[in-house]
Amino acid sequence: MKLHEMQKQAEELEIEGQIPKAIELIRKILEQKENVTLRVKLGELYYVLGDISQSIIEFEKVVEKHHQHTFALYRLGISYFRATRFLDAIAVFQKINQLAPDLYMAYYWEGLSYYHTREIHKAIDAYTRLQAKSPSSTLGFYQLSIAYKAAGEYAKAIDCLLKISQENPNLASVHYHLGRSYLGISEYEQAIEEFKKVIELDPEHNDAKRRLKELTEENLYTFEVPPL
């Protein structure tokens, strides 16, 4: 079978969900002739299978020879992140930011990697750069709010979360973090209202129910007694 026929068959196997067979065929092609596109595809397929270590190996092979292959670098960075190699991930995403500064999702992953290394202010900086590149990014506002909350900058977290809530008022996670942030600045009445919204949207949200119960039982907010 000719190489182009083998490649077409590998594509068909991938579409059919027969990932291991597609990988086996791609490896046979690469043994005969190196192909950057197929090497990247191989890394992606290993990632799909959950074999992150092997996906890293394949992406590293690409960037070793093609230092500015932005897509391979991006996939390598995500694979490093999934392998909890956060410092390696940060180095890769910073390189991408230099090569392709408009690839705003690289800032997202850089921020997430910093967050997991507990360098919260560096995470905030990365998410701020994400917002500068993509001002309408809900994901950016959300992650920025989480980082602000972790840094104890609750008012800034609230500003970000309110922007998201104005666009989409039905996100339970946004109201939950709003409630947590309002607690951080001792705005108990607002916190209670947000936790109520969480429970309306997600009746099984146990932490919101627990926090609402604690707030009301501690009489941090006085409820009006409804008439009989």
35-49, 180-194, 214-228: least confident range: 214-228
Q: What is the mean pLDDT of residues 89-93?
A: 98
Question: For residue 147, which of 180, 178, 112, 173 has the smallest C-alpha distance?
Answer: 112
Joined tokens for residue 29: 């092609």
Could you tell me the pLDDT band of residue 56, with boundaries at 50, 70 and 90? very high
Residues 6+ positions from 53 with CB-CB distance below 8 Å: 83
pTM of the model: 0.87
CATH architecture for residues 157-219: Alpha Horseshoe (1.25)
The pLDDT tens digits of the residues spanning 151-188 come to 999 999 999 999 999 989 999 999 999 999 999 999 99
The pLDDT tens digits of the residues spanning 204-218 come to 999 999 999 999 886
* 1-83 CATH pick, 3.90.1150.10, 1.10.3330.10, 1.10.3660.10, 1.25.40.10: 1.25.40.10
Secondary structure of residue 198 in the 3-state scheme: helix
Joined tokens for residue 49: 């299978």
Largest Cα–Cα separation, the chain: 84
Sorted by where each begins, the domain ranges of the chain are: 1-83, 84-135, 157-219
pLDDT for residue 223: 44
Mean pLDDT of the chain: 91
Query: Dihedral sign, CA of 35, 39, 45, 51?
Result: positive
